[in-house]
Amino acid sequence: MLNTKETIHTITEMMLSKHKLWSIEGDRRGYVLSCVGGSLWITQAGDLKDYILEVGNNFWVTKPGTVVVQALDDSKLKYSLNDMQNHIEINHQPNQHVSHSRARRLLR
């Protein structure tokens, strides 16, 4: 069986109208959600915090389970697997600090 986190590289972009919801289920640890336009509200199962992404901000999924995204404005969302582009080294999770070594372990 293939481990998709190690063997597949995907990037998907989508538009979300203001107040629209989008969700993704399953174990998506290692996925990165990026706000390309507008602003987004994100929550993930097992995380008591909610996150707001503005243009240029990234969020990485750190827990298994459903991730819900709501557009606060007309927005453009990019989500990707194995497309880190130095994400961990130069950016921090919005409203939550994760050490670099811990983040790398979570994303394996």
What lies within 8 Å, CB to CB, of 61 at 6+ separation is: 28, 29, 30, 31, 32, 33, 44, 67
Judged against a pLDDT cut of 60, whether residue 42 lies above it is answered with: yes
> What is the model's pLDDT at position 52?
96
User: Domains, the chain, ranges and CATH?
Assistant: 4-106 (2.60.120.10)
Task: Give the residue, 83 or 55, on which the prediction is more confident.
Answer: 55
> What is the model's pLDDT at position 94?
54
Q: Full-prediction pTM beyond 0.75?
A: no
Radius of gyration over every alpha carbon of the chain, rounded to an integer in angstroms: 13
